[in-house]
Structure formats: structure tokens, C-alpha cells
Structure 1
Amino acid sequence: VSKFWSANYDRAMICYLACLHEFGMYAATIDRANGLVGDDIFHYPFAIEGDKVNAHTIKLTLNKDAKWTKALKFMLADLKVALQWSVHHSSVSRGAETALRMAALGPEGPARS
């Protein structure tokens, strides 16, 4: 991507960062609803504010390569944390669904033909 023609890329990255931030707020809401408090509530290791991650802009336009690369590194670290939270919560909910299905079967187990 040319630095001089990267306005569309910048807008796309800002939108992506907004989605990542919104997911973080959703995850924190779910954690609070599940009774978690303090540091147990979901949070990113690097704060996302507007077009910045840990005070480094995600915009490519008029940005130094080293600073832009650092912003991407922080964004990927936040994405990794979001993925870990998502995988953990999907396995927890799958476990709960399995337990409910097993309880519905009763002590005799599935019907035999």
C-alpha cells in the first residue's frame, strides 16, 4: 500500500480497531454479568482509543514505519487476548450445553431401539 494513497486503508483499519474495541466492551459486559469483578473482567493489555492502540496510531498515512509497526504489534496482542477469551467462553458454553443435554437424558441414558 502506497503511503500517499492509503486513506482507504487507514479508514478500514480504524473501523477494524473500532470493532475490536466494541468486542472488548461486549466481553467485559459478559464477564460482569457472570459475576466477575476487578482484574478478572476482560480488558485489553493495550488500551484502544479512537485510531490509537497504546497511544500509537494505526494510520499508515504520514506515520513512521517503526511507529506504525508498533501500533500493529499492540493491536495483534489485543486480538490474541480477544481470541483467547472467545475460545474459553465458547468451550465453557459448550460444556454447559452438553451438561444440560445429559441431564435431559435422565439416568437411563439414550433410548435403545
Structure 2
Amino acid sequence: MCGKEYSLYSDGGMFRRRGFNQAMILFLECVDDAGRRAMKEELLLKFPYKVERGKIGGLPISLGNDEQWTRALKYMLTHLKWLLAWISKRY
């Protein structure tokens, strides 16, 4: 953080996987921060999946089990879709 860059892509190498996982966790935190702000402005808004400590809906956003990772990404995209709908309606 603090001026450091984290890549949201990976060439599949083992050494880059750690940086990619950290980038995914930080991106999820950004999405969650935006969602929390939206929920403060509109009290009836509730996102379908809880985000906490690098997990969404209880699933880790880090690379790992393909099925769980795919489902976690689907949850994050759903979260983003809800956020986009709220932003479009609001602004």
C-alpha cells in the first residue's frame, strides 16, 4: 500500500502468485469500502455477500481451489454489479 504497486494479473509463476493474491485482497477491500459508503448513504441497501479479511461470502479471494476461487470472483462481480446499480440510480 502507501505508494507500492500490486498487479492484478499473473503469469502463473509461483513467485508472482503472492503479489497477485495481495492485489486481489486489496481490490476486494476497495470494493468493500465503496459498498460500506453506499450503505451509509442509503440505509436500506444491503449487499448479498459479507466481505471480511480477504474473503467474500466466506470464500477466499486468493488463488487456490479453482471452484472456490471462481465462486468468490462471481460474488465479487455481483457486489460490483449492485454497487454500479446504486451509483447509476444515485448519480
TM-score range, shorter chain: 0.7 to 0.9
Query: 1:59–1:68: 8 Å Cα contact kept in structure 2?
Result: yes
Q: How many residue pairs are counted as aligned between the two chains?
A: 80
Q: Structure 1: state its 5+ residue gaps.
A: 33-40, 91-113
The answer to whether structure 1 residue 17 and structure 2 residue 17 are counterparts is no
Query: 1:24–1:42: 8 Å Cα contact kept in structure 2?
Result: no
Tell me the TM-score normalized by structure 1.
0.66
Q: Which runs of 4+ in 1 moved over 3 A?
A: none
Closer, same or farther in 2 for the Cα pair 1:47/1:70, shift >3 Å? same
Tell me the TM-score normalized by structure 2.
0.81
Structure number with greater Rg is: 1
Q: Which has the higher helix share?
A: 1
Using the TM superposition, give the Cα deviation of residue 25 of structure 1 relative to its aligned residue in structure 2, in angstroms: 1.1
The answer to whether structure 1 residue 74 and structure 2 residue 75 are counterparts is yes
Query: 1:31–1:42: 8 Å Cα contact kept in structure 2?
Result: yes
SS in structure 1 at match of 2:49: coil
